[in-house]
Amino acid sequence: MKRLLVLAALALTACTPREAAPPQQAQAADEWTNPGGDAGKTHHSALGDISPANVARLGLAWEADLGTNRVLEATPVVAGGVMYTSGVAGRAYAFDAVSGKELWRFEPEVDMQINRTVCCDQANRGVALANGKVFVAALDAQLYALDAKTGKVLWKADTRDGSGRGINSTGAPEVAGDVVVIGNGGAEYDVRGYVSAFGLADGELKWRFHTVPRDPKLGAQDHPDLEAAAKTWDPDSRWDIGGGGTPWDAINYDPETGLVIIGTGNGGPYHTVKRSPKGGDQLYLSSLVALDARTGRVKWHYQETPADNWDFTATQPMILTRMTVAGEERPVVLHAPKNGFLYVLDRRDGKLLSARPIVRQNWTKGIDPATGKPIPNPEAADWSHGPKIIFPGTPGARNWHPASFDPATGTYFAPVQDMGNLILMPPADPPFQKNGINTAATLFFTPDLQTSLAILPPPLVARIKALPAYQEVLRNPGTSELRAIDPLTGRTRWAVPMGGWQDRGGVLSTASGLVFQGNLAGQLRVFDARTGKLLKAIETGTSILAAPMTYKIGGVQYVAVMAAWGGGGYPYVPRYSAAYQRGNRGRILVFRLDGGKVPQPDLLPEPQVAPPAPAQLPGVTPAVLAQGQALFYSVGCALCHSNQHRSITPDLRRMQPETHAAFDDIVLKGQRVVLGMPRWDDLLTPADSKAIHAWLITEQGRVRQEETEKRRRGIALDAPSAAILSNY
């Protein structure tokens, strides 16, 4: 069988040896002034007090409990002896960076109805600092400028575009000269992506750039650089769904060129036949786009995945640095998006210098050296007429978890996933859901594929097993690794296995030759940057996804990391994680040489048998139960409610009598909106709510019976059982 990994990647240019590293931009050292550390967001530090020779002495300096069991993804910043960071839904904090004393905290009043359009938890990826202000974006797309000394709100800007679509914000703002830039999320819903720039002083909107055109029937585009983009879309595209392209992360200001480079998101719905039926590249989906920071005009773009069919976002963190390519020193962008390539582009004009595959991929046959565009592989990857197994999968070869780059050795350190997913069209074309999921796709990840086949119809299973990629899944369903990679060749210098495909913690590297990364098992691990040898592992008892950072005050070097499980698929807590064993106590952990032990949360108690289910609702038939199950998965209930043991969101198979009694009020009237449970009366009728409730009552009865039998036989109640249908 033809191998799925395109090993014969094209050497777009020849590379010169690196006997002497070219001059680089200033690296982070005593201070760490933005989430990426330096202007290029290399997540690399010039500090070296903590080294391979003494890292065994690393221990806890201080911790801060943030009082949450939801995800923490930000990398803190440190300036003037103060640590600033963000947390759930856009909360912001300031701490004395030496003692850990809390100086202030800010909790925005977030309209939690926004949870309807948040695919991947109430995340926030950091703050920006400038002119005595701390900038943070709340989940409901409100941008705040806070006084850095007091946390007082100096101004607030509504970043929504007035469309009424399902707009949210989870990324860190980016200061770009006299403006602060922020993007938006929601491509799986009904959003048309954009970035906005606001004046640092007063929050006045300076410019806005939508990443996809609007319906040409409305007249001229609302940005001059979208006129050409509109020609790459079918005029009869599904403009009502928005198109996607949301730049929810990966916004970098390049002070050398004056450009703001943004990474854009996937298209919506997922397949182009549903989105732009006559095809076209569909700019600016899944692209890097360079905008003039003063005007918002497009200076260059590079589309990594034209006509994206596979949720291959280009929103993964990019790194701005300098490299010698073909004998010439160039300012470059390093970018490894979801689609499986590691790109090197000239950041002055977007010229492609190198594109190397770092995982198995079958969506393309390679990169055309003449055009810089991927060569289509429809026989393997077009799922418009039947199921296909696509490599990489929708979680991506890389995702939001930051990589680091050491300019002295030219090494890119990153968590990398080598896995795929089964993707297929739903049996019927789902109707448009305003502020609802509009992917028109069903997904199963290859590490779970064998279990998932058991819940699919036999004729469909036969088609899946006949796919050439199915044999590849049997050989290798998927891996997750921390890797050291040469960006210009794609060669892996070393790799360290991680716990599972959800285990993808961000990375910090230092000039002393160390690489720091947390994992879901709750360890902060430190590796030798040359060899990948594990030098130190600190047990914290809390799962870690965020990237560590480092700073130095009073002659002491510190390493800090935020710890808590969450993100995409957050209700499905991995069984190998600290979150599954000890809960999800969100904390900031700060380390120094000769520090102490980390206090670990207690182990969670053994699960109890599900409570008795109430009497079934009147008039319930098998058809009603089937309708309830279908709605639970298609509308979006399953996105938040995994119905598994030790999920961080409620298991609806274990509802108490008072919850059953209030079910319709919760679902249709918003009784618990303030707790994060949105109302659904715009999409669900009373009959729909009854059907979902009836199915959950049946599930609760089934689970109670199953668990009672397990308890009688001495089997652990949380032993794995059914497969999970995933739609994120």
Mean pLDDT, residues 415-433: 87
β-strand partners of 421: 390, 445
In a domain, 30, yes or no: no
Do 190 and 72 share a domain, yes or no?
yes
pLDDT of 13 reads 35
In a domain, 558, yes or no: yes
pLDDT of 24 reads 53
pLDDT of 719 reads 56
In a domain, 28, yes or no: no
pLDDT of 315 reads 98
Of residues 437 and 256, more confidently modeled: 256
| DSSP type of residue 293 | T
pLDDT of 452 reads 87
Considering 593, 610, 645, which residue would you say is the last residue of a domain?
Answer: 593
pTM, two decimal places: 0.94
Mean pLDDT, residues 558-576: 94
In a domain, 13, yes or no: no
Do 653 and 585 share a domain, yes or no?
no
pLDDT of 435 reads 81
- Cβ–Cβ < 8 Å for 420, 390: yes
Least confident of 81-90, 96-105, 518-527, 628-637: 628-637
CATH code of 627's domain = 1.10.760.10
Token pair 């689609």: residue: 339
pLDDT of 727 reads 30
Do 386 and 333 share a domain, yes or no?
yes
**pLDDT > 50? residue 15:** no
Considering 572, 593, 614, which residue would you say is the last residue of a domain?
Answer: 593
**pLDDT > 50? residue 683:** yes
Mean pLDDT, residues 678-698: 96
Do 575 and 685 share a domain, yes or no?
no
Q: Can you tell me the distance from the alpha carbon of 81 to that of 592, in angstroms, rounded to the nearest whole number?
A: 15
| DSSP type of residue 437 | -
The 3-class secondary structure across 506-520, one letter per residue, is CEEEECCCEEEEECC
Distances (CA, A) of 148 to 61, 133, 503: 24, 5, 34
The question of whether 161 is a catalytic residue gets the answer no
- Cβ–Cβ < 8 Å for 93, 590: no
**pLDDT > 70? residue 238:** yes
Segment holding 451, helix H or strand E? helix 449-452
Q: How much of the chain exceeds pLDDT 90, in percent?
A: 85
Q: 432 is in which domain, residue-wise?
A: 44-593
In a domain, 26, yes or no: no
Distances (CA, A) of 272 to 113, 286, 337, 432, 468: 30, 13, 19, 16, 23
User: Residue 422 contacts by C-beta under 8 Å, 6 or more apart in sequence?
Assistant: 387, 388, 389, 443, 444, 445, 446, 449, 452, 464
Spell out the alpha helix ranges (H) of 523-618.
578-582
Q: What are phi and psi of 489, to 5 degrees?
A: -115, -20
Do 538 and 681 share a domain, yes or no?
no
β-strand partners of 207: 197
**pLDDT > 60? residue 601:** yes
In a domain, 523, yes or no: yes
| DSSP type of residue 187 | T
User: pLDDT digits over 437-488, tens only?
Assistant: 888 888 899 998 998 898 889 999 999 999 999 999 999 999 999 999 999 9
Do 641 and 555 share a domain, yes or no?
no
Distances (CA, A) of 661 to 617, 655, 693: 11, 10, 10
- Amino acid 166 reads G
Mean pLDDT, residues 127-134: 98
CATH code of 524's domain = 2.140.10.10
In a domain, 19, yes or no: no
In a domain, 504, yes or no: yes
Q: Can you tell me the distance from the alpha carbon of 405 to that of 336, in angstroms, rounded to the nearest whole number?
A: 12
pLDDT of 10 reads 35
Do 516 and 632 share a domain, yes or no?
no
pLDDT of 18 reads 32
* pLDDT interval class at 646 (50, 70, 90): confident
- Mean pLDDT, the chain, rounded, equals 93
Do 258 and 195 share a domain, yes or no?
yes
Do 53 and 107 share a domain, yes or no?
yes
**pLDDT > 60? residue 162:** yes
User: pLDDT digits over 167-214, tens only?
Assistant: 999 999 999 999 999 999 999 999 999 999 999 999 999 999 999 999
- Cβ–Cβ < 8 Å for 568, 401: no
Do 632 and 495 share a domain, yes or no?
no
Do 642 and 570 share a domain, yes or no?
no
pLDDT of 645 reads 82
Catalytic site residue from 121, 140, 225, 311: 311
Spell out the alpha helix ranges (H) of 194-322.
226-230, 272-275
Least confident of 128-142, 453-467, 582-596: 453-467
pLDDT of 3 reads 38
Do 578 and 693 share a domain, yes or no?
no
388-390 and 404-406 beta bridge pairing: unpaired
* Domains contained in the chain, number: 2
